[in-house]
Chain A
Amino acid sequence: MSATAPTAFETRPSGRVYAFWQRLRSGDDIAYVLTLTCALTILAITALLVYELYMNSTLAREKFGWSFLARTKWDPVAGEYGALPFIYGTVVTSGLALFIGIPLGVGAAIFLAELAPVKLSNSLTFLIELLAAVPSVIYGLLGIFILVPALVAIEPVIRAALGWTPLFSGPFYGVSMLSAGVVLTVMIVPFIISISREVILAVPTEQREGALALGATRWETTWNVVLPFAKKGIMGSIFLALARSLGETMAVTMVIGNDARIHTSLFAPGYSIASVIANNFSEASDALERGTLIELGLVLFGLTIVINGLARILVLSTTKKGAS
């Protein structure tokens, strides 16, 4: 029978406060709340980013509206601003980078995935991925002092071969959209190579074996069977490379020539969105110019979101269904 004095068990405090305290001590809830807060911080930062970009470009947006994207005049003194030359420069340089970079990148990826022995493939891929880690200002440095003089030296050859097209007409001073495009190519090729290589490696061997069994050569197998199979992933890598090249600032700023006008020729200097922001932001003469530059930042932000979103969809759909 029970003793006269209550046992320790019976005197244990009970109730909801105690239960709550016990749960708190186990740390689960603290950990959950702490990590959740950090996850929410990312959402908060991104939302704040969009909000600040939007609010601080109000001046410019209200003055020009949507026509900002179509105007071509950039004249801070007269207060006339237009985004078209920069959008043009960005699109042209990135387009050129993709034009040269896709064959180079996919070709190298094919070599690394299909032809090279495994050890060679791994070490070469390691080196190529190091290329992706090189800071962009170093690419700019090399661009100014090596690429631009080299292009000036071979300009007669290009002009002789392609000078009849409007794309390669006009005087050439070295700094040009061509130089910017080539620098961007070197910067985005490692991304295309490493992602494409992984995607090509993921293509099931049975596909290749089936093609080879039917009498196809190695190249025919790759071109007609492997690549279509890996198409989505390669497209994803291209979009990622595009997104990277759109936002690339320093290397482009150093070699593009900084001319806020639209020229058809690749030999002519140009201006990209990121470059004009980099060059003019700290010297913006008034709130309107600053607001315009922030609006350009918003345009660039929007562009990269769209392209990154597309890239993600492509890469996601590839990894979900295997390499379909």
Chain B
Amino acid sequence: MLSFRRKAVNAVMLSLTGVCAFLAVGTLLFILGYLFFHGGTSLTLDFFTKLPAPVGEAGGGMANALLGSAKLLLLASCIGVPIGFLGGVYLAEFGGSSFSFVVRYVTDLLNGVPSIVIGIFAYILIVLPQKHYSTLAGGLALGVMMIPIAIRSSEDFLKAVPVSLREGAMALGASKAKTIFTVVIPAAKAGLITGIMLNIARVAGETAPLIFTAFGNRYWSPGWEQPTAALPVMIYTYAISPYPDWKQQAWSAGFVLLMLVLMINVFARMILSKRGHAAR
């Protein structure tokens, strides 16, 4: 018969694991709830339309930060998505040799590099020679961060396309390039698009590489050669400031950022799970 001690240990430890799981989930719900009540309820239209007000003046918003983030993400996508996607095509379609192994290894290496080091990289490459901060530098930093993720997700989704599709196309006489671009990629397009969306969502929240590349701006920043405000950097600047009005705005901005990121994530994962692919 099972000793009481063993039964007790069993019950206690198993319930502890349940506690751990619900703690983890509870944290997420707490974060969401708190950000909503603290930031979401004080969100006004001004936040989306006005420029930051001078310190001490009430009001103002983060319109320039929203636009700045959009510009940075656009530039980052232009750099990261093509290189990453085509690199993924290479690994999935022409790979298999030891060279592909090296490429995958280096991709994972680059993926693991802390974002601040990538910020230093963009600083050295662009800010130092130009002697000023710029949207270009910030976009490059974010783009470099997007590349490894884009490669991995493209490769995974392209490899998930059944070999029979490729074989069918080739049996009909299509060349390899034609097969890739007219059969395989359209077949994987749901995964590829959601991969891009997840990539953008991940990079949208990055602050560290922008601190000394795009730097920040209290006004609109036209073009690509001027420093620009970005939503996460504004959150950081306002959160560590001593002004209550700024801190409140940091909460609102945090809520907006979190909602954006989470909505993209939820949407992307829902598409992926519907298609039967494992969400990455």
Give the B-binding residues of A (Cβ under 8 A): 26-28, 30-32, 34-39, 41-43, 45-46, 48-49, 52-53, 56, 103-105, 107-108, 110-112, 114-116, 124, 126-131, 133-138, 140-142, 144-146, 186, 189-190, 193, 215, 217-220, 223, 243, 246-250, 254, 274, 277-278, 281-282, 293-294, 297, 300-301, 304-305, 307-309, 312
Q: Which residue of A lies closest to B147 (CB)?
A: A42
Known: A39-B91, A138-B254. A103 touches B235 (CB 8 A): no
Chain B, 111-128, CB within 8 A of any chain A CB: 112-121, 123-125
**Cβ of B205 and Cβ of A138 under 8 Å apart?**
yes
Q: State whether the Cβ of B17 lies closer than 8 Å to any Cβ in chain A.
A: yes
A294 neighbours in B (Cβ, 8 Å) = 120, 124
**Cβ of B25 and Cβ of A127 under 8 Å apart?**
yes
Please name 23 pairs of A and B residues whose Cβ atoms are closer than 8 Å in the assembled complex, sorted by A.
A27-B178, A31-B177, A31-B180, A32-B90, A34-B86, A35-B86, A38-B82, A38-B83, A38-B84, A41-B147, A43-B103, A104-B20, A107-B19, A127-B29, A130-B265, A136-B205, A193-B21, A219-B14, A254-B236, A281-B123, A281-B211, A300-B117, A301-B113
**Cβ of A304 and Cβ of B258 under 8 Å apart?**
no
Q: State whether the Cβ of B109 lies closer than 8 Å to any Cβ in chain A.
A: yes
**Cβ of A308 and Cβ of B109 under 8 Å apart?**
yes
**Cβ of A130 and Cβ of B28 under 8 Å apart?**
yes
Q: State whether the Cβ of B196 lies closer than 8 Å to any Cβ in chain A.
A: no
**Cβ of B204 and Cβ of A135 under 8 Å apart?**
yes
B193 neighbours in A (Cβ, 8 Å) = none
Known: A45-B110, A135-B206, A141-B235. A107 touches B261 (CB 8 A): no
B201 neighbours in A (Cβ, 8 Å) = 133
**Cβ of B235 and Cβ of A46 under 8 Å apart?**
no
Q: Which residue of B lies closest to A103 (CB)?
A: B20
Give the A-binding residues of B (Cβ under 8 A): 2, 6-7, 9-10, 13-14, 16-21, 23-25, 27-29, 31, 34-35, 82-87, 89-91, 93-94, 100, 102-103, 105-110, 112-121, 123-125, 144, 147-148, 151, 175-178, 180-181, 201-202, 204-208, 211-212, 215, 232, 235-236, 239-240, 247, 250-251, 254, 257-258, 261-262, 265-266, 269, 279
**Cβ of B212 and Cβ of A281 under 8 Å apart?**
yes
**Cβ of B14 and Cβ of A301 under 8 Å apart?**
no
**Cβ of B205 and Cβ of A135 under 8 Å apart?**
yes
Q: Which residue of B lies closest to A223 (CB)?
A: B13
B123 neighbours in A (Cβ, 8 Å) = 281
**Cβ of B21 and Cβ of A112 under 8 Å apart?**
yes
Query: What are the 5 A-B residue pairs with the smallest beta carbon separation, nearest first?
Result: A135-B205, A247-B114, A27-B177, A35-B90, A107-B20
Known: A38-B87, A42-B151. A26 touches B251 (CB 8 A): no
Interface centre among A144, A145, A217, A304 (most CB of B within 10 A): A217
Q: Which residue of A lies closest to B23 (CB)?
A: A104
**Cβ of B258 and Cβ of A134 under 8 Å apart?**
yes
**Cβ of A312 and Cβ of B108 under 8 Å apart?**
yes
Docked complex Cα distance between A49 and B25 (Å): 38
**Cβ of B87 and Cβ of A42 under 8 Å apart?**
yes
Known: A108-B21, A186-B27, A220-B6. A278 touches B147 (CB 8 A): no
Q: Which residue of A lies closest to B279 (CB)?
A: A129
Docked complex Cα distance between A32 and B99 (Å): 14
**Cβ of A301 and Cβ of B106 under 8 Å apart?**
no
Docked complex Cα distance between A115 and B265 (Å): 27
Contact residue among A34, A112, A304 (Cβ-Cβ distance under 8 Å from B112): A304
A130 neighbours in B (Cβ, 8 Å) = 28, 262, 265-266
Q: Which residue of B lies closest to A274 (CB)?
A: B116
**Cβ of A304 and Cβ of B114 under 8 Å apart?**
yes
Docked complex Cα distance between A28 and B175 (Å): 7
**Cβ of B87 and Cβ of A35 under 8 Å apart?**
yes
A48 neighbours in B (Cβ, 8 Å) = 121, 125
